[in-house]
Amino acid sequence: MPKVTKKTLNCRGRLVSLETPVVMGILNSTPDSFFAGSRISLEKTVDTAQKMLADGATFLDIGGYSTRPGAAEVSPDEESDRVLPVIEAILASFPDALLSVDTFRASVARQAVDAGAVLVNDVGGGTLDPAMFDTVATLGVPYVLMHMRGTPATMQSMTTYQNLVTDLLDELAVRLAALRALGQKDVLIDPGFGFAKTPEQNFFLLNQLDAFDLFDEPLLVGLSRKTTIWKTLKISADEALNGTTVLNTIALMKGASILRVHDVREAVEAIKLTQQLTFF
34 Cβ contact partners less than 8 Å away, ≥ 6 residues apart: 66, 68, 225, 226, 227, 237
How far is 249 from 255, CA to CA, in rounded Å?
10
How far is 73 from 70, CA to CA, in rounded Å?
9
User: Within 13 A of 240's CA, how many CA atoms are on the CB side?
Assistant: 25
C-alpha distances out from residue 4 to 20, 191, 228, 244, Å: 11, 15, 26, 23
Active site residue 226: yes
Active site residue 234: no
- Give the count of beta carbons closer than 10 Å to the beta carbon of residue 13: 7
How far is 64 from 134, CA to CA, in rounded Å?
22
Q: Which of 82, 110, 226, 254 is catalytic?
A: 226
- Helices 76-93 and 45-55 pack at an angle, to 10 degrees, of 60
Q: Which of 14, 260, 265, 272 is catalytic?
A: 260
Q: Which residues are catalytic?
A: 226, 260
